[in-house]
Amino acid sequence: MIRGNDPILLTPGPLTTSLETKQAMLRDWGSWDAAFNQVTLSLCRDLVDIVGGGADYVCVPLQGSGTFSVEAAIGNVVPRNGRVLVPNNGAYCARIVKICKYLNRAVVDLAVPEDQPATAAIVEAALRADPAITHVAQVHCETGAGILNDLDGIAQACRRLGKGLIVDAMSSFAALPIDVKDAPFDALIAASGKCLEGVPGMGFVIMKKSVAEGCSGNSHSLALDLADQYAYMQKTAQWRYTPPTHVVAALRAAVDQFKAEGGQPARGARYAANCATLIDGMRALGFQAYLRPEVQAPIIVTFHAPADPAYDFKTFYAKTRERGYILYPGKLTQVETFRVGCIGAIDANEMRNVVSAVAETLKDMGIRSAAPALRRAA
């Protein structure tokens, strides 16, 4: 773990990276060079292995933030006359709905409360009520609140009813168990700057090989055409357009560290310890987590804001930052909250330091109680 002089990022990405990952960006790479092409190919193989994809799945990398790859996946996997069901319990589900509308893909926006998980029963009922739906687009870990949705159950419901599944695993990939045997999908999207602990700038879509080979002509965009990117890489081992070379090199280093740590089980266990340490420490200060423990993912925790009149998030943020920690604003629509991430190159000891920094900030601001109002925000 690296502390250094920079503040620790307690966000859902970008996040604090190791010194080894940072050092991987000190070398320049030629984008068409054979050595760089091998880095890309080895990364794609390792990313498919994380979900047990074997020979039936392929990884298509893409320049840009994770949202670029989410849009690419929807625009390629869903035909232009397709119809997408989005179980919506947060900001990133809502973003998928917005993407579908931009792409002129028919979309069913299925409202789910922000503090409730999307379940197989909810999805199956919606699919049976509207047989015209062709695909489900599901966020695995909705970091608007930090909630974990039932990916395995939803995947099995889609398989039973013959529907395609697109998984936004941006904040769960490499941290939470995902296996194609339990959760078969058409496409799964993640990115470099999340639980793999790389730096931002590269997304990727893990696709069924048959889907990647069969979706040519669906894309609304040349730059986001995954079928073309896949075909070109198969032919040349190169990216179609200038790749984020330093980001790719950093991700190669980060994945090597992920494997050395023990892969997903070890990464997930460290994040779970971070999350438990954070929640216990914040509870001791009087804070209340927004979610019930059984639906809380160990990625980011939403806390109710204190009802104390001395509390102001901007001041709270600034004073905590002065003590070395960058928090994240709330993303909910009904109550005032803030969020604290548990991911990155940090451990439980760092989370104890976070709690100490928050305690000092409360004292500095004259906040006598961290207890929430538990009322709807105005």
What local confidence, expressed as pLDDT, does residue 75 receive?
98
Contact of 373 with 303, CB cutoff 8 Å: no
Q: How far apart are CA 277 and CA 272, in angstroms?
A: 9
3-state secondary structure of 210: helix
Q: Please give the DSSP secondary-structure letter assigned to residue 289.
A: B
Query: Distance between CA atoms of 211 and 136, rounded to whole angstroms?
Result: 15
Distance of CA 161 to the CA centre of its chain: 27
pLDDT tens digits, 222-258: 999 999 999 999 999 999 999 999 999 999 999 999 9
Class of domain 19-260: alpha beta
Neighbours of 126 (CB within 10 A): 18
Average pLDDT over residues 264-293: 97
Q: Helices marked H in 200-331 — which ranges?
A: 209-214, 226-236, 245-261, 263-285, 313-322
Q: How far apart are CA 212 and CA 53, in angstroms?
A: 14
Sequence ranges of the chain with CATH classification 3.40.640.10: 19-260
Nearest to 302 by CA among 333, 267, 347: 333
Tens of pLDDT, residue by residue over 314-333, are: 999 999 999 999 999 987 76
Structure letter (DSSP) for residue 305:
P
Contact 51, 175 (CB under 8 A): no
Least Cα distance to 39 among 245, 229, 261, 263 occurs for 245
Question: SS3 for 232?
Answer: helix
Determine the pLDDT at residue 361.
Answer: 98
**Residue 61 pLDDT greater than 80, yes or no:** yes
User: With 0-12 CB in 10 A as exposed, 13-18 as middle and 19+ as buried, what is 26?
Assistant: exposed
Report whether pLDDT(377) > 70: no
Residue ranges of the chain assigned to CATH 3.90.1150.10: 8-12+263-365
Q: Which pLDDT does position 374 carry in this prediction?
A: 61
Would you state the CATH architecture of domain 8-12+263-365? Alpha-Beta Complex (3.90)
**Do 255 and 329 contact (CB within 8 A), yes or no?**
no
pLDDT at 286: 97
List pLDDT tens digits, range 158-202: 999 999 999 999 999 999 999 999 999 999 999 999 999 999 999
Residue 285 corresponds to which tokens in the numbers above?
């200060």
**Residue 328's CB: how many other CB atoms inside 10 A?**
18
| Cα–Cα distance, 14 to 11 (Å, whole number) | 7
pTM for this entry: 0.95
| Residue 91: count of CB within 10 angstroms of its CB | 16
**Element holding 87 (H helix, E strand):** strand 83-88
User: Is residue 335 over pLDDT 90?
Assistant: no
Based on its alpha-carbon atoms, the radius of gyration of the chain, rounded to whole angstroms, reads 21
pLDDT at residue 376, as a whole number? 44
More confident site: 286 or 5: 286
pLDDT-derived band at 292 (thresholds 50, 70, 90) equals very high
* CA 276, chain centre distance (Å): 20
